[in-house]
Amino acid sequence: MTRNKGLSFYKKKKKLSARVIHEIFSYIFGIAAAVFIAGVLVYTVGISTSVIGVSMEPSLYNGQKIFINRLAYILTTPSVGDVIVFLPNGNENSHYYVKRVVATAGDRVEIRDGRLYVNGVQAAEPDRDKMADAGIAANEIVLAGDECFVLGDNRNNSEDSRSANIGAVKHRDIIGKAWFHMASDEGGTGFIK
């Protein structure tokens, strides 16, 4: 006589196939790669600061948030017209300064009669007021190979390379190139020119 044991359910053991394991690891790798790339981008070009004061008006305004490209000067050096972010004399206790490069390594800089002269030629600077104070640039300054001369766009309301406590900016003190600004009450969002 056969004994009926009633209903019997057999559980089939499931095995993870190589395809499923490969897919799981590819998702994990993709997420890890995305986090790594995001971290690198934030560290290199994603740091930001705010403009302090009116020295860069009308290009940038007080309190306006700007993004800094820290990779910009790893292989190159600042060019005339670049807006840079730096610590004056490398002072870690200072706030970031945001100014425009007007002369680079080897240039001769002088301010005469309120106008900027680079290598003996008056710089073409449309819509700029005469500078009331030439500061240390009243006498010609020759920039070393690792220096640049910076001025604020609002020349008469700017503490910049004309000030003895700032002077020419050494490349090692540059944090990076200001490349993008966020909207403010006075201006919109966009790339910095």
State the catalytic residue, choosing from 99, 158, 161, 177.
99
SS3 content of the chain, % helix, strand, coil (to 5): 20, 25, 55
Q: Catalytic residue among 55, 59, 158, 161, which?
A: 55
Q: Is residue 14 flagged as an active site residue? A: no
Would you state the structure tokens that stand for residue 159, as one six-digit string? 């503490």
Q: Which residues pair with 101 in a beta bridge?
A: 150
In this structure, which amino acid lies at residue 43?
A: Y
Q: How, if at all, do strands 65-69 and 174-181 pair?
A: antiparallel
- Beta strands 121-122 and 115-118 are antiparallel
How far apart CA 91 and CA 22 sit, in angstroms, is 51
CA distance 175 to 78: 11
Q: Is position 55 annotated as part of the catalytic site?
A: yes
Could you tell me if 166 and 88 are in contact, meaning their C-beta atoms sit under 8 angstroms apart? yes
Query: Which residues have a catalytic role annotated?
Result: 55, 99
